[in-house]
Amino acid sequence: MSFLDFFIDPVFRAPMWGTLLMCVASSLIGTILFLQKKTLLAESLSHATYPGVVLGVALLGWFFPSQEKWAFAVVLLGALFSSYLGLKMIRFLQEKQKVSTDASLCFVLSLFFGIGVLGISGMQSILPSWNKQVQMLLFGQAATMTDLHILLYGILACCVVFFVWLMFHPLKAIVFDPDFSKSVKLPVPMLERILFWCLLVSLVLGMRSVGVVLMSGMVIAPAVAARQYTSSFSKMLWLSALFGACSGLLGNILSILGTSYLSRNGEMLTIPTGPMIILVGGCFAFYALAFAPERGLVFRKLRIRSFHRKCLEENCLKGFWKKGSLSYAGVQALLGISPFRAFFAVRRLVRKGWVIKEHKTYRLTPDGMHKAASIVRLHRLWELYLANMLKLETGKVHKTAEEMEHILTPEIEAKLTELLANPTRDPHEQPIPQRRGL
Amino acid sequence: MIDVEGLTVNYGKTPVLWDVSFQIPQGVSVGILGPNGAGKSTLLKALLRIIPTMSGRMDFFGESSFSKVQKKIAYVPQRGSVDWDFPITAFEVVLMGRYGKLRLFGRPRAADKEAAYRALEIVGMRDYAHVQIGQLSGGQQQRIFIARALVQNGDIFLLDEPFAGVDLTTEKTMMALLKQETEKGKTICVVHHDLPTVKEYFDWVLLLNTRLIAVGPVSEVLTPENLCLAFGKNQMLFDEAARLAAKSASGIL
Is it the case that residue B245 has pLDDT exceeding 80? no
pLDDT at position A112? 94
* CATH superfamily name and code, B2-250: P-loop containing nucleotide triphosphate hydrolases (3.40.50.300)
pLDDT in tens, B11-40: 877 788 888 999 999 889 999 998 888 889
Instruction: Please tell me the pTM assigned to this model.
Output: 0.84
Range(s) within chain A of domains with CATH label 1.10.10.10? 299-364
pLDDT at position A438? 39
pLDDT in tens, A372-400: 888 888 888 888 888 888 888 877 888 88
Is it the case that residue A107 has pLDDT exceeding 60? yes
Is it the case that residue A419 has pLDDT exceeding 90? no
The interface residues of chain A toward chain B in range 7-26, judged by CB-CB distance below 8 A, are none
Residues of A with Cβ-Cβ distance to B88 under 8 angstroms: 172, 176, 231-233
User: What 3 state SS string does A323-357 have?
Assistant: HCEECHHHHHHHHCCCHHHHHHHHHHHHHHCCEEE
Q: What is the average pLDDT across A103-122? A: 92
Range(s) within chain A of domains with CATH label 1.10.3470.10? 5-294
Check if the interface score ipTM surpasses 0.90: no
Label residue B235 by pLDDT band (50, 70, 90): low
pLDDT in tens, B76-118: 999 888 999 999 999 999 999 999 888 777 889 999 999 999 9
B169 to A140, B7, B165, B166: CA distances (angstroms): 59, 36, 12, 8
pLDDT at position B239? 66
Rounded distance between C-alpha atoms, residue A252 and residue A17, angstroms: 10
pLDDT at position B88? 94
DSSP string, B42-108: HHHHHHTTSS--SEEEEEETTB--HHHHGGGEEEE--GGGS-TTSS-BHHHHHHGGGGGGS-TT---
Contact A289, A297 (CB under 8 A): yes
Identify the CATH number of the domain defined by range A5-294: 1.10.3470.10
The interface residues of chain A toward chain B in range 175-214, judged by CB-CB distance below 8 A, are 175-177, 179-187
pLDDT at position B253? 58
Label residue B199 by pLDDT band (50, 70, 90): confident
The interface residues of chain B toward chain A in range 67-106, judged by CB-CB distance below 8 A, are 67, 70-71, 73, 75, 77, 81-83, 86-89, 92-93, 96-97, 99-100, 102, 104-106
Length of chain A: 438
Q: Inspect the interface and report whether the beta carbons of A173 and B99 lie closer than 8 Å.
A: yes
Q: In terms of CATH architecture, what is A299-364? A: Orthogonal Bundle (1.10)
**Contact status of B11 with chain A (Cβ, < 8 Å):** no
pLDDT at position A10? 79
pLDDT at position A70? 79
Q: Inspect the interface and report whether the beta carbons of A176 and B88 lie closer than 8 Å.
A: yes
pLDDT in tens, A326-350: 888 888 888 888 888 888 888 888 8
